[in-house]
Chains A and B, each alone.
Chain A
Amino acid sequence: MREALDQWTFVMAAYAIGILGTLLMIGWSWVSMRRAEKRRDRSREL
């Protein structure tokens, strides 16, 4: 017997995970870079 699976549900789940994972990685890397560079700049002023 063949299962009736809606392929678009799987496509959307894969896109959501791929896009969300990539955006989170970009955001986290960018924010931690800005924070580290601010910390370095503050250490210059001390």
Chain B
Amino acid sequence: MHGFANPARFLRIARWLTPALLVSGVALTAAALLWGLFAVPPDRLMGDTVRILFIHVPAAWLGMGGWTTIAIASLVELVWRHPLAGIAARAAALPGAVFTAICLVTGSIWGRPTWGTWWVWDGRLTSMLILLFLYFGYIALSDATRRDGGASSRVAAIFGLVGAINIPIINRSVVWWNSLHQPASITMGKSTIDPAFLWPLLIATIGFSLIFGGVILARMRAILADIQAEARLRRKAMAGVSG
């Protein structure tokens, strides 16, 4: 793992991997969404609104996946002092927040014609909204520690780890509490979804995940470049003062 701790080695890989992930992700997502829009039949109960799930479900998974990334990277940063782990955690916050917001908005749009309401304060929806607020808090905290010179980046890492408690709550919320939200349709190795809906859903999930990975790499490269530029300017300023 520490083999990838070298920023130069990371950049060598990220330079070709970032556009590769983004281009293949956009192509796969576009194909899956077109399939979902025009080729998938309407569902017996949901009608045409079933098509919203090809965006809503991958967004929900990636919203939770973003925080899981933050928690794992924070743990690696705290325990092994991996130099890129803190950067990876910070980079995962924005795409995680965007996908959580997309999940909430598209879920609300789906709920209006299906449930007859835009919003209910049930376990799944509320815990997902809390996840969005956790993202806002994490982004504010990591930005503040960055301005601080990164000296207190452990605070953001601890926040990332503590916030992970919300992930199993989101996952189990439909089991623990009475909810309008249906229970999980896909569990370990099992699916109750008809193949006509399952395949475009899987391809959309892979596509959005590739985009998610590409955006994390792009943001890691941006953070690394900022750190390198600041360090270089500081060294030059110090050399100027001492000279």
Quick check: B55 and A10 within 8 Å, CB to CB? no
Quick check: B102 and A18 within 8 Å, CB to CB? yes
Quick check: A30 and B218 within 8 Å, CB to CB? yes
Contact with A along B10-54 (1 / 0, CB 8 A): 000000001000100010010001000100000000011101100
Q: With a CB–CB cut-off of 8 A, which chain A residues contact B228?
A: 40, 43
Q: Given that A22-B29, A32-B222 are contacting pairs, would A14 and B215 also be in contact in the complex, using a CB cutoff of 8 Å?
A: no
Quick check: A18 and B221 within 8 Å, CB to CB? no
Total interface residues on B, CB under 8 Å, equals 42
Q: With a CB–CB cut-off of 8 A, which chain A residues contact B55?
A: 14-15, 18-19
| Contact residue among B48, B95, B221, B225 (Cβ-Cβ distance under 8 Å from A11) | B48
- Distance A19 CA – B222 CA, assembled complex (angstroms): 23
The reply on B233 being an interface residue by CB < 8 A is yes
Total interface residues on A, CB under 8 Å, equals 29
Q: With a CB–CB cut-off of 8 A, which chain B residues contact A14?
A: 52, 55-56, 105-106, 109-110
Within 8 A of A (CB), among B89-110: 94-95, 98, 101-102, 105-106, 109-110
Quick check: A10 and B109 within 8 Å, CB to CB? yes
Quick check: A26 and B215 within 8 Å, CB to CB? yes
Query: Smallest CB-CB separation from A7: which chain B residue?
Result: B48
The reply on B172 being an interface residue by CB < 8 A is no
Quick check: B225 and A15 within 8 Å, CB to CB? no
Q: With a CB–CB cut-off of 8 A, which chain B residues contact A46?
A: 232-233, 236
Quick check: B208 and A19 within 8 Å, CB to CB? no
Q: With a CB–CB cut-off of 8 A, which chain B residues contact A11?
A: 37, 48-49, 51-52
Quick check: B222 and A18 within 8 Å, CB to CB? no
Q: 12 new A-B pairs (CB below 8 Å) besides A37-B222, A43-B229?
A: A7-B49, A10-B49, A10-B112, A15-B51, A17-B106, A21-B98, A21-B102, A26-B22, A29-B222, A35-B222, A36-B222, A36-B225
Interface of B with A (CB < 8 Å)?
A: 18, 22, 26, 29, 33, 37, 47-49, 51-52, 55-56, 59, 94-95, 98, 101-102, 105-106, 109-110, 112-113, 116, 208, 211, 214-215, 218-219, 221-223, 225-226, 228-229, 232-233, 236
| A-B pairs with beta carbons under 8 Å apart, 16 shown | A3-B116, A11-B49, A14-B56, A14-B110, A15-B37, A15-B52, A17-B106, A17-B109, A18-B56, A18-B102, A21-B98, A25-B98, A36-B222, A37-B221, A44-B232, A46-B236
